[in-house]
Amino acid sequence: MNLRRMGWSVLLMVMGGLLLGGCGGEGGSDQNYDGTWTGRTSNGGRITFTVEGDWVRTLRLEDPTAQIWFPQPVDIRGSTFAAQYLTETDSSDAVRLQGTFTSATHLDGSYSLRKGSYSLSGTFTATRQ
């Protein structure tokens, strides 16, 4: 596929062989964050995810020039979650995303994507619906 024809839109869907990790305090989350969360990125995009127990599930970030979908659950440690996905095709390709719950209804975070010479980074905020 021609990246120019796609308008430099990148869809990164990484399945098996991923490096995934949580960070923060020990154990699960300190509060109940269960529910659907939505928000905006600093680049004018959207983020949507669902929290079930100590897991962030169905996380999707749609930036104007890229889409990032995390197909595997990410664990919440304390009030923080983080994911790093490395691809098997190129050691320089990576997606990183981290979020911190500042309350039971608000989250701040950042993300970055690198695929070959293309890179993207930004921040986001989300609220529980």
Domain ranges of the chain: 10-128
Question: 13-63: per-residue pLDDT in tens?
Answer: 333 233 334 433 445 666 899 999 999 999 999 999 999 999 999 899 999
Question: 74-88: per-residue pLDDT in tens?
Answer: 999 999 999 887 766
Task: Give the pLDDT mean for 97-104.
Answer: 96
d(C-alpha 91, C-alpha 105), whole Å: 36
Q: Enumerate residues 6+ apart whose C-beta is below 8 A from 5.
A: none
d(C-alpha 115, C-alpha 10), whole Å: 9
- pLDDT given for residue 83 in this prediction: 87
- pLDDT given for residue 82 in this prediction: 94
CATH code, residues 10-128:
2.40.128
Q: Residue type at 33?
A: Y
Q: Residue type at 20?
A: L
